[in-house]
Structure 1
Amino acid sequence: MPATVFSCRWFALCALLLLGGCQPDQPAPPLDQQLYIWQRQWRPAHEQALSASRADFSTLRVLALQAQPKAGWSRARVDLAQLKADGRPVIAVIRLDGQLPALDLDRARAQISQLLADWRAGGVMPTGVEIDHDSGSARLSGYTDFLIKLRGLLPPSLKLSITALPAWLDSPQLPALLQAVDSSVLQVHAVSNPRLGLFNPGQPRDWAERWGRVSDKAFYLALPAYGIAVLPDDGGAPVVESEVALNRGGERRELLADPQQLATLARQLRAKPPAHLAGLIWFRLPLPGDRRAWSLSTLSAVARGEALASQWQVQLSARDGLYDIRLDNLGNLDRPLPARVELNAEQCDGVDGLSGYTLRQTPKQLIFTRQSSARIAAGGQRALGWARCTRIDQGAWNVYP
């Protein structure tokens, strides 16, 4: 072979290799989006919520069974007919309270086996089981043994996952624990003292990066789309109120996960996902009237990666000089009630505020002042009050945060 031909071929090969090395990385696959359903008593409203969530969330992780130190084992009252009709993959979540003195493998196996049999008889075939146990780091060795034995007792076709805590990252037992299951769900909300808040947006990405270096198995991040209230504790452990109201007095300090913060985190994770991160699981599916959860409109917008925005609109409906006045939240972002709403109005001889607003009248204005804290869901509305006036200017109003 002539030297010139060899040189040309060698140059061409090198050029191809260099070009190949300069090609941009393939885009990461989109992160899967899943939902927790955490209501212990299903209602007819679940049907509408499930239907509205189907387009944006691939899989449902359903609270199914729990064991508590004094109450023992109990089941969530899941509407299997609704779950079957929904048709999405289902993972049954088994909640084992972190205060249990020990994990009883035989009892757990019996309870889980009966649950799965009953669900299958109802037409629901779970694809997996998730064990949710807030084990202390010092007890992870025993928890690992429990999971290994439980894995051997479950059908091979059923995937086993666990809910995991960031505190476990400092345990030398973590690699063995993660090898005992098919996947894990790293919970990054409600993992600190409630007095410090529900969610710290500066920590989850670091935790996820570290988690991805510990195991080569897929993992998910559990993210908050809800709020809690912290009640007076008399110097003891914080008392937390969530879905169910507590029969306890005292001022409640409301804490709500910020959709804007979570949207930013989700966008960062999509752009540069940590190793082995398979998706995001949102806690929890909201139902109508759930005052401590994002609306499904806001949750779906965050899951889709949409820009979040909202806009106030004051709406009037009049009949024979009697005006009903309401406030609409346009857009896809839930918003707190504004502190004050002002309208230009003339010659009013009867007025009243509604829905947590008082109404004050001046010669030229109606002034609504908020008396209670609440939110208006994305796309929702709130009655402000009524007024009997000669004229209210539809376009002359102001809303103050």
Structure 2
Amino acid sequence: MTFIHRLSLALAALFLSGCDQPAPLVLDQQLYIWQRQWTPAHALALRQSRGDFSSVRVLALQAFPGAGWSRARIDPAMLKADGRPLVAVIRLDGQLKSLNQDDVIAQIQHVLGDWQAQGLAPVGVEIDHDAGSARLPAYRTFLARLRQTLPTTLQLSITALPAWLDSPELTELLQTVDSSVLQVHAVSDPRQGLFDAGQARRWAKRWGAVTTRPFYLALPAYGVALLTQETGAPVVESEVPIDRGGERRELLADPQTVAGLVADLRAEPPEHLAGLIWFRLPLTGDRRVWSLTTLGAVARGDSLDSRLAVHVDEQDGLYDIRLVNQGNLDSPWPQRLTLAVGACDGVDALAGYTLQQTPGLLTFTRIQEGRLAAGAQRAIGWARCTKIDQGGFNVYP
């Protein structure tokens, strides 16, 4: 056998062994819509998200301890125009002392009836109840009863907590629903961070070994602020502003960290993993959420990159100076940036930066935190100069 013949056989064997490798799992991608009041911004966000996300899970109804029931003010016309499969989410606060089963079921039936009267046809109901492990037997009884009252055409799912993995009641509980959504973000104390990719991976693997039915992972695409108090734990501020002064510590799930977990899940999926559900749909003006550009890139598995540049617009010697994010990854405002200029007789920085002028150079220095969404731009200052070198800039993270 000649060397060339042996080499050909070796290459053929390598090629065939490569063909036997399993293809990465195609994960279904869905979105939570969690705003309690819909605005015109929802229309654009829905339209722009349709290419990457198959279904929407919409907050429909909430029960709070002491405050009672509250409905989300959805826009049925927007949901009808969107046309994607729709799941109604019922949030039952984990601090409720007990569930009045008759009342909860009546409220769910009422909201479903109202949605149907408005032309909506949900394909499922999700119950979001952060019950403690000791209350899982009573929760299972409620779910079994709810399943009997819902039409057989509606899928029943639940949001689930990793803490339940240590409960002997979990296996039987999961038999009462069609699927579960394991929440792996901000599950204990936000002060410890919103997300731990390694811990989320371990929880997902354990969950897949316990359930015999499809499950999803709820992943974070958002941030919160922690408001310090003189006593007690910090107050958590998320999509709804809290009318209170004081220092705010911003926490944000890191897109690159979450993207790493998604890549791992595709390469080595836990048993029964059906897909990912992202919290939450990004709206224009929501500063504590990833941009839809970044969220879509993470969901698709694209390479992430924030390419910051400085653009200037000139009119009669007056230059407007803007920071532009040309990449697909949201970026913190840079710590410092410099711009080569000619002689200037007037310069100033805008909110968030200070400006130092030296011969031939403008230096902008960040004095507060902020983020620039992928594809967005932000004015940072102006200058009246004989010239500004459009390409003569440096950005320092």
TM bucket (normalised to shorter chain) is: over 0.9
Letter in 2 for 1:335: S
Q: Secondary structure at the match of 1:246?
A: coil
Q: For the Cα contact (< 8 Å) 1:194–1:238, is it kept in 2? A: no
Give the secondary structure class of the aligned counterpart of 2:274.
Answer: strand
2:62 equivalent to 1:66: yes
For the 8 Å contact 2:25–2:267, the answer to whether it is kept is: no
- Name the SS for the 1:344 alignment partner: strand
Q: 2:144 matched to 1:148?
A: yes
For the aligned residues, what is the CA RMSD?
Answer: 1.5
Unaligned runs of 5+ in 1: 1-19
- 2:114 is aligned with 1:110: no
Offset of residue 157 of structure 1: 1.0
Aligned-partner Cα distance in 1 for 2:18–2:311: 57
In structure 2, runs of 5+ residues without a counterpart are 1-15
Distance 2:91 2:107 in 1: 12
* Residue in 1 that maps onto 2:371: 375
- The verdict on how the C-alpha distance between 1:399 and 1:172 changes in structure 2, with shifts beyond 3 A counting, is same
The amino acid across from 2:359 in the alignment is P
Deviation at 1:133, TM superposition (A): 0.3
Shift of 1:130: 0.2
| Residue number in structure 2 paired with 1:79 | 75
> 1:38 aligns to what?
34
Aligned match for 1:98, one of 94, 97, 104? 94
Structure 1: which amino acid aligns with 2:36? R
Residue 285 of structure 1: SS of its match in structure 2?
Answer: coil
1:22 deviates by: 11
* Equivalent residues, number: 382
Match of 2:153 in 1: 157
Amino acid of the structure 2 residue aligned with 1:80: P
| 1:206 corresponding residue in structure 2 | 202
Cα distance in 2, alignment partners of residues 226 and 54 from structure 1: 19
Confirm or deny that 1:306 pairs with 2:284: no
- Residues 1:137 and 2:133 aligned together: yes
Q: Mark the CA change 1:364 to 1:293 in structure 2 (over 3 Å): closer, same or farther.
A: same
2:7 paired residue number: none
Provide the residue aligned with 2:335 in structure 1: 339
Hey, what does 1:236 align to over in structure 2? Answer: 232
**What is the TM-score of this pair, normalised by structure 1?**
0.93
Is the aligned partner of 1:315 residue 2:311? yes
Secondary structure of the corresponding residue to residue 247 of structure 1: coil
Shift of 1:144: 0.6
Aligned letter for 2:62?
Answer: Q
Give the structure 2 partner of residue 190 of structure 1. Answer: 186
Report the equivalent of 2:266: 270
Give the match for residue 256 of structure 2: 260
SS in structure 1 opposite 2:342? strand
1:278-319 CA distances to partner (integer Å, 9 max, x unpaired)?
000000000011100000000000000100012111111111
Deviation at 1:368, TM superposition (A): 1.0
Distance 1:131 1:244 in 2: 22
CA distance in 2, matches of 1:238, 1:316: 42
Give 1:384 deviation, angstroms. Answer: 1.1
- Is the 2:319–2:384 Cα contact (8 Å) retained in structure 1? yes
Superimposed CA distance per residue, residues 228-274 of structure 1 (whole angstroms, 9 cap, x where no aligned partner)? 01111334133101011111222111100000001110011011110
What amino acid is the match of 1:348?
C
Q: Distance in 2 between matches of 1:90 and 1:338?
A: 40
Match for residue 10 of structure 2? Answer: none
After superposition, the Cα gap between the structure-2 partners of 1:363 and 1:132, relative to the gap in structure 1 and judged at 3 Å, is: same
Q: Judge conservation of contact 2:59–2:72 (CA < 8 Å) in 1.
A: yes
Amino acid at match of 1:222: A
Shift of 1:385: 0.7
Determine helix, strand or coil for the equivalent of 1:63.
strand
Match of 2:168 among 158, 167, 172: 172
The amino acid of 1:57's aligned partner reads: F
**1:255–1:56 Cα change, 3 Å:** same
d(CA) in 2 for partners of 1:65, 1:349: 59
Identity %: 66
> Take 1:215 and 1:194, find their aligned partners in 2: how far apart are those partners?
27
- Structure of higher CA gyration radius: 1
Give the 3-state SS of the residue equivalent to 1:250 in structure 2.
coil
8 Å contact kept, 1:37–1:285: yes
Matching of residue 364 in structure 1 with residue 360 in structure 2: yes
- How high is the TM-score relative to the length of structure 2? 0.94
- Counterpart residue identity of residue 164, structure 1: A
Which segment drifts farther, 365-374 or 62-71? 365-374
Match of 1:145, SS state, is helix
Deviations 1:208-241 (A, max 9, x none): 1110111110000000000001111334133101
Identify if the C-alpha distance between structure 1 residues 314 and 21 changes in structure 2 by more than 3 Å, giving closer, same or farther: closer
8 Å contact from structure 2 (residues 25, 269) kept in 1? no
Deviation at 1:21, TM superposition (A): 11
Q: Within 1, Cα distance between the matches of 2:155 and 2:181?
A: 13
Secondary structure of 1:230's aligned partner? strand
2 CA distance for matches of 1:66 and 1:104?
A: 14
Q: Which residues in structure 2 correspond to 1:14-29 (within 5 Å)?
A: 24=20, 26-27=22-23, 29=25
Is residue 56 from structure 1 mapped to residue 55 from structure 2 by the alignment? no
Change beyond 3 A, Cα 1:271–1:316 = same
- After superposition, the C-alpha distances for 1:71-113 in whole angstroms (9 at most, x for unaligned) are 1011000000000100000000000000111101111111111
CA contact (8 A) 1:355 1:382 kept: no
Q: Is the 8 A contact 1:349 1:388 kept in 2?
A: yes
- Aligned mates of 1:25, 1:365 — CA distance in 2: 56
Taking the TM superposition and a 5 Å limit, the aligned residue runs for 1:390-401 are 390-401=386-397
CA spacing shift, 1:395–1:25, aligned 2, 3 Å: closer
